[in-house]
Amino acid sequence: MKKNVRKIPGTIQSQLKHLGRYVIAAYVRTYETTKLASGELKHLGISVSGDKITIPDSALPPARIGKYSDRNLNGYEVVRKDLKKQTHYHSVETPNWGDFSYGTHDVNLPYEKYPRDFHGPQHVRIKMACPSENAKADRTMIIFEVDKVLDQEARDFKASLLECLNLLQENVGACGVQKAGATTAEYLKTMRVAWEILPPGTVEEVITRVFKGCTPTKEEASSITDRYNFLMSLKPEKLIYGTSGFQRYFGALIHERLVIFENIEYGNAIYVMFEDWKDLSQRSRTELLSGRYGNNFDRVLHVSGWKKKVRAIIKRHVQ
């Protein structure tokens, strides 16, 4: 599991444009109930007993969980190497006249060090909510929110957001953003992809449909045009469009049991799915990579030669 994020991910930067001025770090994630029972989120006070899942309203993450959890509880120092070193002193006990038998005295020895800025602890809590606390279910969805409202217009917004994202990342294994005061229904919208399956159209129609309500940048329009030309070269029966919260998906239905799609927002991989693609497409990247879904899909990274790899996968499955 990735422990920390070094910068605000591109997907989150894209979502921030649509969430309004006040936002929070938040994430909704589905867990296998058996893993909750084994203590996966014990550090947040979540436990399973019989048919009941116990989820507290909030928890203060323990310092041992990671760097940002420790900072949240204990604060931290920043060494100011942009400033001049300052003279400090430490005391050393030395013998009188070079002989301890005559007693000792303290000598202050100077040394140089950079100034330090101390940032006090925030004691920010992680709020939790679960639409259903029935432990008989195989899977349990939990909504996590960092209890700190952030102002996108504030000077320290990016630094504060990065701290909150990392607090989630360390304790939950994932991070995201949501508008402050979001309802459970709005969280649920981010969990499932709503698919549209339509006949192929022109590239202009595709761009309009993918970015409905928004104006794509030149880079986004260029990327969609490239994906469109590639997908059309595969002679698809239909094109598919999906939305999940503010994330957009675009792909092609080659035939009923062979679908290609990707998330437009980050586009780091393209997925080729076979059996039960509608169900698989609702799974998170973490779930798909867990190995529990066998050979029902292939994931191809957008690196050199990716189009050739996708063509080879399709060729194997259409013969």
Q: pLDDT by residue for the chain (319 residues), tens digit each? A: 557 888 888 778 878 888 889 999 998 888 888 888 889 999 999 998 877 888 999 999 999 999 999 999 999 888 989 989 988 888 888 888 888 888 888 888 888 988 888 888 999 999 998 876 565 677 788 889 999 999 999 999 999 999 999 999 999 988 889 889 887 776 666 555 667 677 788 888 887 877 776 777 788 788 888 888 988 898 888 888 776 655 677 888 888 788 888 877 655 688 888 877 777 776 666 667 666 666 778 888 888 888 999 999 888 877 6
Q: Angle 43-45-49 (CA atoms, 0-180°, nearest 5)? A: 120
Q: What are phi and psi of 307, to 5 degrees?
A: -65, -40
Sequence-separated (6 or more) residues with CB below 8 Å from residue 142: 28, 29, 30, 31, 41, 46, 55, 128, 129, 130
Give the per-residue pLDDT at 188: 63
- Domain residues of the chain, as ranges? 10-75+120-189, 78-113, 194-318
Residues contacting 67, CB < 8 A, separation 6+: 3, 4, 166, 170
Containing 256, the helix (H) or strand (E) segment is none
Closest by Cα among 161, 129, 158 to 142: 129
Which residues, 6 or more positions from 84, have their beta carbon under 8 angstroms from its beta carbon? none
Predicted pLDDT of residue 146: 94
The answer to whether 207 and 224 have CB atoms below 8 angstroms apart is: yes
pTM, to two decimals: 0.62
Quote the pLDDT of residue 46: 92
Q: Pick from 79, 107, 80: which is nearest to 93 by CA?
A: 107
Amino acid symbol at 306: W
Q: What is the pLDDT of residue 28?
A: 85
C-alpha radius of gyration, the chain, whole number: 26
Res 191: pLDDT:
52
Residue 48, beta-bridge partner list:
53
